[in-house]
Amino acid sequence: MSELHRIMIKDFQQPFSQPYTRVMQGPEEIVQYAPNSHVRIWYNTEPSSFENHYHNCVEIIYMYENDCTVTSQTDVYQLKTGDILIIPPYKMHEVVSAHSCRQFILQLDISVLSNFGIFNSPKLSVTDILLCNQDECPQIYETIYNNLTDMINSYFENKPLWEIETYSHYLQILVTTGRFSSLTSVVNADDISPGTREHYDKFSELLQFVENNYSEQLTLDFVSSHVGFSKYHFIRLFKEYTGTTFYDYLTHKRIQHAKELLSGDMGITEISFTCGFNNQTSFCRTFKKICGCPPTEYRQRMKEKDR
């Protein structure tokens, strides 16, 4: 693991002067990216615990030295030196490090890549936590590791166009993990029961449907009927497959689109209806709950950030 040694440990300091504080809204972490970017990378050397939470970005944890424990629902990941854990958006998880360790935590906003179909398919790695190490994934580990270390070095060296380079490496990671997952599913196809395969396919179709129709008045009755389940069976399966409730998933899709529209000149009322809210009051209340500020304030911050 020599790539990181091109930069001395003491140099892994945030290359930006803007102060950073961790912002929580209930269980959601409102990620504070590096200025004028959609990326944040941390080098953590202190014992720390991050209680059960989620965020709307992908998180990648690379254990540079020692170990930590990550728990997501009933799954427990014991990370050791060299391990890489990729956590998709909206996945509840807890990180516990009982003693001093060295780890890199990368957070990337992938909404800017939402036109790629991979982000809407539960068959691919972006909807499942992936533990990548020499033992579990020897076929792809070196590729993932090389792209990851290039991302880290580019960020801390503050190279020109570092953010574009970061996303180019992340896309390569997606290609690698996506193909690996597809090959694994083909190899193990005989081990998957017909019922599980049917559920998998139906939820893949449903997430694509939501992506295309989140501005419509989608109800539990309608979407459960759309995939052919009873409402109560659908509620249980949706939580099992995505780690969140249908309405929370739908609401975050709508708010994410609203954030994009707020960077333009569209009025707040029009944005609320465009994103599927019944009225402006409901939209503003939900936006503030998720984002920590009203949409008008968020728009003003965006304008100040771009100056």
Which top CATH class is 3-186? mainly beta
Kindly list the distances between the CA atom of residue 287 and the CA atoms of 81, 167, 178, 228, 251, in Å, as whole numbers in the listed order: 39, 27, 32, 32, 9
Q: How far apart are CA 155 and CA 146, in angstroms?
A: 14
* Three-state helix/strand/coil letters over 73-113: CCEEEEECCCCEEEECCCCCEEEEECCCCEEEEEEECCHHH
Amino acid at 129: I
CA 278: distance to chain centroid? 27
Give pLDDT, residue 28.
82
The CATH T-level fold of domain 194-306 is Arc Repressor Mutant, subunit A (1.10.10)
Give pLDDT, residue 242.
65
Give pLDDT, residue 121.
46
pLDDT digit string (tens) for the chain, length 307 residues = 445 555 555 568 888 877 677 788 778 888 889 988 999 998 988 777 788 888 888 999 999 988 899 998 778 999 999 999 999 888 888 998 877 788 999 999 987 776 665 554 444 435 678 999 988 788 889 889 999 999 998 999 888 899 999 999 999 898 888 766 654 443 344 444 555 556 666 776 777 788 788 888 889 999 888 888 888 888 888 777 666 788 888 888 888 888 888 888 899 999 999 999 999 999 999 998 888 889 998 888 777 765 5
Neighbours of 233 (CB within 10 A): 13
Query: 3-class SS at 133?
Result: coil
pTM score: 0.60
Structural domain spans, the chain? 3-186, 194-306
Specify burial of residue 5 (Cβ count, 10 A radius: 0-12, 13-18, 19+): exposed
Contact between 61 and 95 under an 8 Å Cβ cutoff? The reply is yes
